[in-house]
Amino acid sequence: MQPDLGKVYLVGAGPGDPGLLTLKGKALLECADVVVYDALISPQILTMINPQAEQIPAGKRRGRHSLGQSEITQLLVEKAKTEAIVVRLKGGDPFVFGRGGEEMQELVGAGVSVEVVPGVTSGIAAPAYAKIPLTHRDYSSSVTFVTGHESAGKYRPEVNWQAIAHGSETIVIYMGIHNLPYIVPQLLTAGLSPETPVALIRWGTFPEQEELVGTLSTIVTQVEAVAFEAPAIVVIGSVVNLRAILSGNS
């Protein structure tokens, strides 16, 4: 470890609602020298940043990259050479489909000291705000978190949808909206019932949160009909039916 380097904190900002930022994350924002932040961070969380800190947007949205992954890592290494507290603020939890592991690997490789501050992940928070418990003693004793983002030149191992279909009672898919026309037939071929309930939660925990509920046989048509867009979490399984009960609608 090089003694003259500062420290990089990989901080999870949570899914959107500023109240879901951890106390440790907030304290670091308040004393940071530099904050490099992602696209889906709530503007209210950005107001918590030390006014003297340099603020650098590094946001990624589908098809639009303001800074490439290697540029971000290079930037963090450079900043750690001159500043004491460098915060890398990431949506949700840094280690859940947030490339936090990859960034930390490169930073550690460059001799930079790194600490992770976990965040509330959208795959848990968005269903919770939609009144969908991911486990329930009567309906589900297991959950799978999986990426639905499988594009050409993908960097992750291929998702085994056959195994996912049978691996747990609840399936939570990140980055799955655009691939639903591919994912749903995979799950049906694997043997899931067409009547399996599905909920999509968009902008979960933000004031703009929207939900779309259907079944495996209807959801793709529903998404097309209302042009339901990312960022959204997909929840599949009978726990989705609890939403109506917990909302007092049944």
Ligand X SMILES: C[S@@+](CC[C@H](N)C(=O)[O-])C[C@H]1O[C@@H](n2cnc3c(N)ncnc32)[C@H](O)[C@@H]1O
127 interacts with ligand X by CB under 6 A: no
- Write down the least CB distance from residue 173 to ligand X, Å: 7
67 interacts with ligand X by CB under 6 A: no
18 interacts with ligand X by CB under 6 A: no
Decide whether 6 or 92 has the Cβ nearer to ligand X.
92
| First-residue to last-residue Cα distance in the chain | 59
Total residues contacting ligand X (rule CB under 6 A)? 23
121 interacts with ligand X by CB under 6 A: yes
| Tokens coding 118 | 């976990």
Please pick, from the candidates 39, 56, 190, 230, the single residue that binds ligand X as defined by CB under 6 A. 230
| Tokens coding 93 | 């939890």
| Tokens coding 92 | 């949700």
Decide whether 77 or 96 has the Cβ nearer to ligand X.
96
Please pick, from the candidates 40, 45, 48, 49, the single residue that binds ligand X as defined by CB under 6 A. 40
Coil, strand or helix at 159: coil
Is 90 among the residues known to form the active site?
no
In sequence order, what are the residues at sequence separation of 6 or more whose Cβ sits closer than 8 angstroms to the Cβ of residue 13? 21, 25, 37, 38, 41, 42, 45, 89, 90, 91, 92, 119
Among the listed ranges 134-142, 153-161, 182-190, 228-236, the one in contact with ligand X (CB under 6 A) is: 228-236
Rounded alpha-carbon distances, angstroms, from residue 198 to 35, 77, 246: 37, 42, 16
Q: Catalytic one among 7, 26, 60, 131?
A: 60
DSSP letter at 55 equals E
In sequence order, what are the residues at sequence separation of 6 or more whose Cβ sits closer than 8 angstroms to the Cβ of residue 154? none
CA angle 131, 135, 139 (to 5 degrees): 100
Is 38 among the residues known to form the active site?
yes
Please pick, from the candidates 6, 16, 127, 237, the single residue that binds ligand X as defined by CB under 6 A. 16
Q: Which residues of this protein are in contact with ligand X, per CB under 6 A?
A: 15-16, 40, 91-93, 96-98, 121-122, 126, 174-175, 201, 203-206, 230-233
Active site residues: 38, 60, 175
